[in-house]
């Protein structure tokens, strides 16, 4: 295996604390008279999305749907080619939508995805990411809700993987290439 685990970047306690705070921000900004469609980007955002929506208040009309897109394959560098494997089942026209993503770095995948979703005429379209690698941006993407800004190192855990490995880790850790 050409990769091994490094040290903890973000411990599970800090993740839980920040997820709760993000849910509070989303709740304060949400329109109570329209459904809020939370779109999780599989597979990486599944853990984050699950914890996030469980922290939202009961008085919000929250709908959850998923998309599966990829630009990484089995490596630690983006291929630059965005592929959609699973599309939404929910019609988002006229609805408030928040895309929930595990990480944004180059911005290429998210930019492509947002362009696609804007074409479906949602009332609003926002982005919530767990991790933001701003120094890796190749295209501008507005992040409305951000868990943590991190440096340009490959990380795993809490849904993030490296060639399918380490998604199950409770903490977020660095990956070291051998």
What confidence tens digit (pLDDT) does each residue in 117-166 have?
Answer: 999 999 999 999 999 999 888 889 999 999 999 999 999 999 999 988 99
Task: Please answer whether residues 176 and 11 qualify as being in contact, where contact means their C-beta atoms are separated by less than 8 angstroms.
Answer: no
For 28-44, how does the pLDDT look when each residue is reduced to its tens digit (9 = 90+)?
999 989 999 999 999 89
Q: How many distinct structural domains can be found in the chain?
A: 1
Q: Cα–Cα distance between 68 and 84 in angstroms, integer?
A: 6
- So what's the pLDDT on residue 1? 59
Residues annotated as catalytic (active site), given as ranges: 105
Q: For residue 2, is it within any domain?
A: no
Q: For residue 7, is it within any domain?
A: no
84: containing domain: 12-151
Q: Cα–Cα distance between 33 and 22 in angstroms, integer?
A: 21
- What is the mean pLDDT of the segment spanning 69-89? 70
Total-model pTM: 0.91
């Amino acid at each position: 295996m050409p990769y091994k685990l490094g040290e903890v970047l973000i411990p599970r306690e800090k993740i839980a604390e920040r997820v709760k705070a993000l849910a509070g921000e989303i709740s304060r900004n949400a329109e109570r008279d329209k459904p809020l469609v939370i779109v999780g980007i599989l597979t990486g955002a599944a853990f984050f999305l699950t914890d996030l929506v469980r922290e939202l208040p009961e008085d919000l009309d929250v709908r959850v749907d998923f998309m599966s897109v990829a630009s990484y394959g089995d490596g630690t560098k983006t291929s630059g080619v965005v592929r959609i494997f699973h599309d939404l089942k929910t019609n988002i026209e006229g609805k408030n939508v928040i895309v929930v993503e595990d990480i944004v770095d180059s911005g290429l995948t998210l930019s492509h995805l947002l362009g696609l979703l804007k074409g479906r005429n949602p009332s609003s379209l926002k982005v919530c990411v767990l991790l933001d690698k701003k120094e890796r941006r190749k295209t501008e993407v507005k992040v409305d809700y951000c868990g943590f800004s991190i440096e340009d190192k490959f990380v795993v855990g809490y849904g993030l993987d490296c060639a399918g490995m380490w998604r199950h880790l409770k903490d977020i850790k660095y990956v070291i290439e051998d």
